[in-house]
Chain A
Amino acid sequence: MPHILSIPRVTRRAWMVWYRNLTVFTRTWQVNFFPPLVEALLYLFAIGLGIGSYIKEIGGVPYVNFIAPAILAIAVMNSAFFECTYGSYVRMYYQKSFDAMIATPLSIEDVIAGELLWGATRSVIYVVIMLPVLAVFGVISLPLSLLAIPVAFLGGLMFAGIAMCFTAITPSIDTLNYPSFLFITPMSLFSGTFFPLTLLPVLLQYLALALLPLTHLVAIMRMFTLPALSWSILPHITWIAAVTAVVCIVSINLMRKRLIV
């Protein structure tokens, strides 16, 4: 039997699963394009301008500019994570779509890889919709911020992989609430998003960097949007790439273990 870390044999057929999800998404595009637009505006007004009117600036940066990259990073995280937890679980368990797909030349590895690619694509779509909004408000630098788009794919793939690991082991859809509320929600608050990581005690700073994937994504996004590009982007990118590879591989193997009996 394949090991949990063995490289799954994914074929180009994975893109057919990705395409199926894209088709469903674009068919209801009015419903799907609206939320990221609203989400960006809500954060900007409530936190950026609301709280920002008291805080003014952090380290010489206007507060609303400080949180702009966090808005992008959180959108990347949420869109991929919720797509590959609740979305994938519904397709797997309630709609039996995976069963229907693996009766065709698609393998379970193809199906899960397609779902992961789709989760990452959703992150990209969200960022692409949010960038113009942030640009109009003048809180991000251009053109460097356009690099947020490819990074959204990588970051999205990471959160899709993390999500799929939970989906592979969750006993029911209700227990997916645990990672959502105990992992994702705290992460969106304590990852250098709305206040700098350096305000945390040193030990917690290290823990955040070691364990919270969002810290790295926020750091990268912030380098693009402020802009404040430096070589320190490399360890962040490396961390994300490594974790992405591991969680994607593990999630596919866990899913095969769950579904192929």
Chain B
Amino acid sequence: MGVIDAQNLKKTYGSITAVDGIGFSVKKGEVFGFLGPNGAGKTTTMKMIACVSPRTSGSLTILGMDPDSFPAMIKQRLGVVPQETNLDPDFTCYGNLFTYARYFDIPADTARKRAEELLEFVQLFEKRDVAVEKLSGGMKRRLILARALVNNPDLLILDEPTIGLDPQARHLIWEKLKTLQAQGNTIVLTTHYLDEASRLCDRLVIMDNGKILVEGAPADLVRDHVGHEIVEVEKSPEVTACLDEMQIPFEETGDTILVATESSREIARILLERCRPEKVLTRPATLEDVFLKLTGRKLRE
């Protein structure tokens, strides 16, 4: 039995189906990612796991319990980092952590100690008595992460944990999540940043239109769906015709042609010898290639 088990999980809002019969299982101690374009159903799934949005149908158990029947018992053991920053502006950094700890019925003494420890953990101790509105975006996200940890959760749910952060702040959050994972925490996260997903996730799913398209470890997904390497060539009619002629499959995006391959050297050599390209670039295949291949390049609104 996993930390989360979902089967045929469905969520509809009126006539709109946000999550359309998905199934997945998250094991203890792993970092599990949900990827997908806007409107794929990631946040809705997070809300169902966090017991704040009831499912329409299907089965869902979290920590072995049904969220419809035991929401308070489940939530007692969850830590949630929401997409929207919802710190309490009426309190300082310390006050936010202390007050939040009290909602979990943590005794005042323990709550005080825990709040201090966590401020230290997310490197905000010197901001202890500062009002939250005075914090930068990165500091706010760190404080939210600290807040999600006040109850020593068995399962941490993060919806876009590093959204809108500068590289320094993102790296700090990643480092903290790695520490938590090393301590044996189970973490579920959604993200738009595919480098973040491949860096952090042991396993992930890519969702689109409320359905899961693929599931697997990041490296396996890249290997299975794209290959090892990518050759990028500047687009021109000659190159397109040339690739067609040699029956090399390729994909066009904007002014670039992408060729997925096991051997970029080979393809690059053929291209340079026969197709007279303007520019050729070879690089390893990434999760982003898998993502775009599966969900398409059309802009989502």
Chain B 80-100 near chain A by CB (<8 Å), digits 1 or 0: 101010111111000000011
Interface residues in B122-156 by Cβ distance below 8 A to A read: 151
Which residues of B lie under 8 Å from residue A97 when comparing CB positions? 86, 88
Q: Given A99-B82, A260-B54, A261-B53, answer yes or no on A106-B103 (Cβ-Cβ < 8 Å).
A: yes
CB distance B52 to A102 under 8 Å? yes
CB B149 to nearest CB in A, in angstroms, measures 13
Chain B 250-281 near chain A by CB (<8 Å), digits 1 or 0: 00000000000000000000000000000000
A136 adjacent to chain B (CB < 8 Å) = no
Which residues of B lie under 8 Å from residue A96 when comparing CB positions? 84, 86
Which residues of A lie under 8 Å from residue B72 when comparing CB positions? 11, 13, 105-107
Q: Given A95-B89, A260-B53, A260-B54, answer yes or no on A100-B76 (Cβ-Cβ < 8 Å).
A: no
Which residues of A lie under 8 Å from residue B151 when comparing CB positions? 104
Which residues of B lie under 8 Å from residue A261 when comparing CB positions? 13, 53
B193 adjacent to chain A (CB < 8 Å) = no
CA distance A106 to B102 in the complex (A): 11
Taking CB as reference atom, which chain B residue is nearest A19? B102
A228 adjacent to chain B (CB < 8 Å) = no
CA distance A12 to B52 in the complex (A): 19
A24 adjacent to chain B (CB < 8 Å) = yes
Chain A 82-102 near chain B by CB (<8 Å), digits 1 or 0: 000000000000011101111
A56 adjacent to chain B (CB < 8 Å) = no
CA distance A104 to B86 in the complex (A): 13
Give the residue of B78, B82, B86 whose beta carbon is less than 8 angstroms from that of A95.
Answer: B86
Which residues of A lie under 8 Å from residue B52 when comparing CB positions? 99, 102-103, 260
CB B184 to nearest CB in A, in angstroms, measures 22
Taking CB as reference atom, which chain A residue is nearest B78? A103
A20 adjacent to chain B (CB < 8 Å) = yes
A173 adjacent to chain B (CB < 8 Å) = no
CB distance A100 to B87 under 8 Å? yes
CB distance A105 to B104 under 8 Å? yes
CB B40 to nearest CB in A, in angstroms, measures 18
CB B2 to nearest CB in A, in angstroms, measures 21
Q: Given A97-B88, A261-B13, answer yes or no on A103-B54 (Cβ-Cβ < 8 Å).
A: no
A97, A103, A106, most chain B CB atoms within 10 A: A103
CB distance B82 to A103 under 8 Å? yes
Chain B 44-84 near chain A by CB (<8 Å), digits 1 or 0: 00000010111000000000000000011101101010101
Interface residues in A10-42 by Cβ distance below 8 A to B read: 11, 13, 16, 19-20, 23-24
CB A17 to nearest CB in B, in angstroms, measures 8
Which residues of B lie under 8 Å from residue A101 when comparing CB positions? 103
B105 adjacent to chain A (CB < 8 Å) = yes
CA distance A102 to B82 in the complex (A): 12
CA distance A260 to B11 in the complex (A): 13
CA distance A253 to B52 in the complex (A): 15
Q: Given A24-B90, A97-B86, A97-B88, answer yes or no on A103-B99 (Cβ-Cβ < 8 Å).
A: no
Taking CB as reference atom, which chain B residue is nearest A104? B103
Q: Given A16-B103, A24-B90, A261-B13, answer yes or no on A105-B53 (Cβ-Cβ < 8 Å).
A: no
Chain B residues packing against A (C-beta within 8 Å): 13, 50, 52-54, 71-73, 75-76, 78, 80, 82, 84, 86-91, 99-100, 102-105, 151
Chain A residues packing against B (C-beta within 8 Å): 11, 13, 16, 19-20, 23-24, 95-97, 99-107, 260-261
- Per CB-CB distance, the 7 closest pairs between chain A and chain B, nearest first, are A96-B86, A104-B103, A105-B72, A103-B80, A100-B86, A24-B90, A105-B76
Q: List 18 A-B contacts (CB under 8 A).
A: A11-B72, A13-B72, A16-B103, A20-B88, A24-B90, A95-B88, A96-B84, A96-B86, A99-B82, A100-B88, A103-B52, A103-B80, A103-B82, A104-B75, A104-B151, A107-B71, A260-B52, A260-B54
